[in-house]
Amino acid sequence: MDDAALASDVMTESYPALPQDPVMTAYYWAHVQEGHEVARFIGDLDGRPVAYLSWLHGPWEKLPERHCDVEVWVARDRLDPDLLTDLWRWIGAQAEATGALTLLAWAAEDEVEMLAALDRLDYERDRYEKVWELDLKEHGQRLLAEAAETRKRPGAEGIRFATLAEWDHPEKLRRLHELNELTKQDIPHTVPILPQSFEDFESRALAPDRPHDRYWIALHGEAPVALSFLRFPPVRGSVWTGYTCCHPDYRGRGLARAVKLQSLAQAIELGVPVVCTDNDSQNAPMLHINERLGYRRRPGFVALLKRVSS
């Protein structure tokens, strides 16, 4: 745990466009999901920490193809092709030793050296995650007006908006967990999205980057039917959308967009300059919402798979 801040520094140095928050790195290290196994490594070169590597996988009995996430982060001034290839090969071997049959790696589309190293090791490009950025200074007044307008319309259907802090219900986290589990499988995916226990969901909901007075919910009576929240890093990094969803029975009413607007309006009032979000390239409904809200594209992320023998 003492290395969490160091790892976050190395990851930030590796890809400055996506700064890693040391508080959140430590929090996630301390709250590994139930049944998951993980290993983490710091790479030193000439006495200087220049790389962070890890592997992570869920319970093998729930993963028929034994998918294992592998990651390599290397300081920008050390992006030597041979070194990158060696590091990806090494962490892959570590994952294989645990019984992994499929390796899953991610790289930003502008990390040319990383992608080249993965290509050399026969990783195949599988999915593409689009990344968007919304300038709240440029679009602030329009978004505030749209958020105010959306608060008026759903009321006629018995829908109201509230933050998680405002919603006074003894089982509110359990109800949000149910909505989360119901909608997660709608995200386009290749690797299975494993069910999340309530305890794991609760630990995420209590994370330092998602204060409950900034976690927005659309309620029909006491039933949560849509949610959207932003992640506010405690130390460094941009504000990102954490998750936006709508119950299948309530889709087509604009609730996902409406509840997302409430979180954006609050960010504007807090003086946040920019909000980022990411979506799978096949997630057409959310991509449409982002385009309508005024998000602009920035380099996205590529998911790559490699099937190995064990």
User: Rounded to the nearest 10 degrees, what angle do helices 198-205 and 172-184 cross at?
Assistant: 110
Domain ranges of the chain: 4-122, 131-299
- pLDDT for 280 equals 84
Q: What is the pLDDT of residue 144?
A: 96
Q: Do domains 4-122 and 131-299 have the same CATH topology?
A: yes
Residue 100 has pLDDT above 90, yes or no: yes
Helix (H, G, I), strand (E, B) or coil at 78: helix
Indicate the average pLDDT of the chain.
94
Residue 155 has a pLDDT of 58
Cβ contact 50:74 at 8 Å: yes
pLDDT confidence of residue 292: 83
**For 187-224, how does the pLDDT look when each residue is reduced to its tens digit (9 = 90+)?**
888 899 999 999 999 999 999 999 999 999 999 999 99
Q: What are phi and psi of 115, to 5 degrees?
A: -65, -35
pLDDT at residue 156 in the model: 54
pLDDT tens digits, 256-308: 999 999 999 999 999 999 999 998 888 877 777 888 888 999 999 999 999 99
Model pTM?
Answer: 0.92
pLDDT of residue 310: 55
Report the DSSP pairing between strands 296-307 and 67-74. Answer: unpaired
Burial class (CB in 10 A: 0-12, 13-18, 19+), 111: buried
Query: Selecting from 3.30.70.1400, 3.30.420.10, 3.40.50.720, 3.40.630.30, what CATH number does the domain 4-122 have?
Result: 3.40.630.30
- 152-156, 164-168, 184-188, 235-239: the lowest-pLDDT one: 152-156
**pLDDT average, residue stretch 117-125:** 97
Residue bearing the bigger pLDDT, 285 or 162: 162
Q: Nearest-CA neighbor of 129 among 186, 188, 194, 192?
A: 188
Kindly report, residue by residue over 17-26, the tens digit of the pLDDT: 999 999 999 9
Architecture in CATH for domain 131-299 = 3-Layer(aba) Sandwich (3.40)
Contact 249, 285 (CB under 8 A): no
